[in-house]
Amino acid sequence: MKRPVIIDCDPGTDDTIALVMALAAEELDVKAITTVAGNQTGDKTAINGRKIVSYLKKNVPVAHGADKPIMRPLVTAPHVHGESGMGPVELPDPVTPTLDIKAWDLFYELTVDKSEKVHLITLGPLTNVAIALMKYPALKDGIEGITMMGGSACYGNDTPAAEYNIYADPEAARIVFDSGIPITMVGLDCTHKALLMKDEIDSMASVPGTGAKLAQDMMNHIYEFATRFGFSGAVMHDPSAVTAVIKPELFVTAPYHVVVETKGKYTTGKTVVDLMGVTKKDPNVNVVLDIDREGFVQLVKKLLKSYES
Ligand code: RIB
Ligand code: CA
């Protein structure tokens, strides 16, 4: 039984690898892809989403959402993902049209009053999800759960305290974390262990097909960036989040109470994880603490092999 999912993303080099994996996974029924401003501006992440789906020849609708966070100016990451958002890769113009519906309205159309609940995978700032929850309060009953790449129980990567996806729109993140929707948080505690080593990336060069080539080009780009910061491999942030939905058995998770800081001079965007239970508040998030890296690498290779040449 395929699991119906919507993927909200800000492509994005690692978002691209995550989409290559998710669109190949027999475990998932990708109902739609929605894009949000984050790694790059809204217009760039929107066309990147359409280009990726077109290039992979997948018949999945793509809708765009927010062009800026709900209360703050947009801070993009060209130093990580390049001016286009796609690193060194240039894909052909898309044939996939932009749906004439905003991401948050599509979330509503695909989830409320439906016989099967949809799982939401988020790979960027939570702006679209927050807008959807504000506009459609019933949405939280239509979404089975959210698996997000974001946050951490440890340190940050955009500030010493905050991970980028949360820091980019902390007010949106607070709305989502406080919503009561079951959340699995795939944060830096996990993704900084989800590394692809150079020999593993090189071994994928022999895999035929569009998906493998696109993913490997992005992996090499991420590898060059990550190793400059002392990592021994390419950090697979967003691919970890989609893997957590495809093969949850590869992960170690624990339930904790988590709130998002939105006011701290040095801590805005921090996911404050009550590891010691000192607040006595019920857990609202399944925090991912570890990953079976070998199993992850095997899954990446398997999914890349599923694309026709
Ligand atoms: O902190 C990593 C996250 O920020 C990833 O989703 C990456 O694509 C960027 O959006
Ligand atoms: Ca992303």
CA of 15 to the centre of ligand 2 (A): 5
Does the beta carbon of 10 lie inside 6 Å of ligand 1? yes
CA distances in angstroms from 210 to 57, 62, 91, 203, listed in the order given: 9, 19, 11, 16
Does the beta carbon of 239 lie inside 6 Å of ligand 1? no
Given this model, what pLDDT does residue 97 score? 87
Q: Please provide the distance, in angstroms rounded to a whole number, between the alpha carbons at the two ends of the chain.
A: 27
The closest-lying atom of ligand 1 relative to the alpha carbon of residue 149 is: 6
Q: Within its chain, how far is the Cα of 43 from the centroid?
A: 18
Given this model, what pLDDT does residue 2 score? 95
User: What are the tens digits of pLDDT across the range 24-47?
Assistant: 999 999 999 999 999 999 999 999
CA of 177 to the centre of ligand 2 (A): 18
Q: Which residue out of 165, 190, 225 has the highest number of ligand 1 atoms within 8 Å of its CB and is therefore the one to mutate?
A: 165
CB-CB contact of 34 with 106 (8 Å): yes
Tell me the pTM. Answer: 0.98
Catalytic positions: 237
CA of 217 to the centre of ligand 1 (A): 17
Q: Domain locations in the chain? A: 3-305
Helices 127-135 and 103-111 meet at what angle, rounded to 10?
60
Does the beta carbon of 149 lie inside 6 Å of ligand 1? yes
Residue nearest to atom 10 of ligand 1 (CA): 124
Average pLDDT of span 163-191 = 98
Average pLDDT of span 260-282 = 98
pLDDT of residue 149 exceeding 80: yes
Architecture of the 3-305 domain: Alpha-Beta Complex (3.90)
CA of 124 to the centre of ligand 1 (A): 6
The closest-lying atom of ligand 1 relative to the alpha carbon of residue 12 is: 8
pLDDT of residue 192 exceeding 90: yes
